[in-house]
Amino acid sequence: MAGAAPAAPVVEPDLGVDERHRADPPWVVIVWDDPVNLMSYVVLVLRRVFGFDAATAERLMLQVHHEGRALVAREPRERAEHHVAQLHGYGLLASLERDA
Amino acid sequence: MARVLPPASGGDGLRVELERVELDLLVRLCEGLAGRLRAGGDDAVIARLAPAASRGDAEADAELRRLLRGDLLGGRAERLERLAVELRSWAGRVGPGDGVAADLAAEEALALLQGLNDVRLALGAQVGVEDLDRGTLAVDDPRAVTLGLMDRLGGLQQGLVEHLA
């Protein structure tokens, strides 16, 4: 996977990724559902943190609400960490994962 | 009853009206949570306000927590303390009835919105809202009282979001 830390102690199966996937940033930011955050607040936070338009933020919020989680960004690890920290600052449940 | 209105002078921002008892309660909740965050340790409130940053990867999560947790909790405590000072200053701003009214710029309203959210998350974590079936709680169950407060603050929060959007 492009951009993975060379010393990462994770054994990854050879997935035969093609060049297109190789060029993709290898981390994703996930927002998780929780019973306290208001739906309207989650939309506001997604717009402020990622600059989404209203329709995109609304769609992602509804995905979180109905499916329990939504992928909101796919980007290099450092940016993903920064965004997760910002989302935690706003009180959203968010995490980053290596892109599958 | 707390209300959010367009700003008295027009333009950006908004006006918040609170009863004095609501203002006092908000100040105490913000200060109480700030104190709790400053004290550190581990409990449901801390866990909710500094959640896992990487699920399914304990090593990555531990590393991220080391990096993020101090800033997250310290920054949040500072933010809540600033908000409590600001809210105390509202006591002199006379509103309708015996209440207070404050005209807030958008950024001030956002600070209030975040503080309310922090307080609501903490109240929810205190009663274990994640695993609670609210329908089964007796009316006089202390957890029901806490959840009622959480909802009431949610009403104010909703008003702020609508005027900020």
Q: H or E element: which one contains A48?
A: helix A39-50
Instruction: Name the domain count of chain A.
Output: 1
A21: in domain? no
Residue contact B157–A38, C-beta within 8 A:
yes
Using only C-alpha atoms, chain A has a radius of gyration, in whole angstroms, of 15
* The two three-digit tokens of residue A7, written as one number: 């010393």
pTM of this structure: 0.87
A2: in domain? no
Look up the domain containing A65 and give its range: 31-98
CA A47 to chain centre: 14
Model ipTM value? 0.92
B115 touches chain A (CB under 8 A): no
* The two three-digit tokens of residue B49, written as one number: 């306000």
CA–CA dist B18, B90 (Å, integer): 10
Q: What is the mean pLDDT of residues B5-13?
A: 83
Confidence label for A25 from pLDDT (cuts 50, 70 and 90): low
B25 touches chain A (CB under 8 A): no
A67: in domain? yes
Q: Mean pLDDT for chain A?
A: 84
Q: What is the mean pLDDT of residues B79-89?
A: 97
Residue contact B51–A36, C-beta within 8 A:
no
B71 touches chain A (CB under 8 A): yes
| 3-state SS, one letter per residue, for A55-94 | HHHHHHHHHHHHHCEEEEEEECHHHHHHHHHHHHHCCCEE
φ, ψ for residue A11 (rounded to 5)? -85, 120
Any idea what the CATH number is for the domain that residue A77 is in? Answer: 3.30.1390.10
Instruction: Name the domain count of chain B.
Output: 1
Q: What is the mean pLDDT of residues B134-161?
A: 92
The yes-or-no verdict on residue A52 having pLDDT over 90 is: yes
A 36-55: CB under 8 A from B: 36-38, 40-41, 43-44, 54
Per-residue pLDDT at A23: 60
A 77-96: CB under 8 A from B: 81, 84-85, 88-91, 93-96
Look up the domain containing B121 and give its range: 3-164
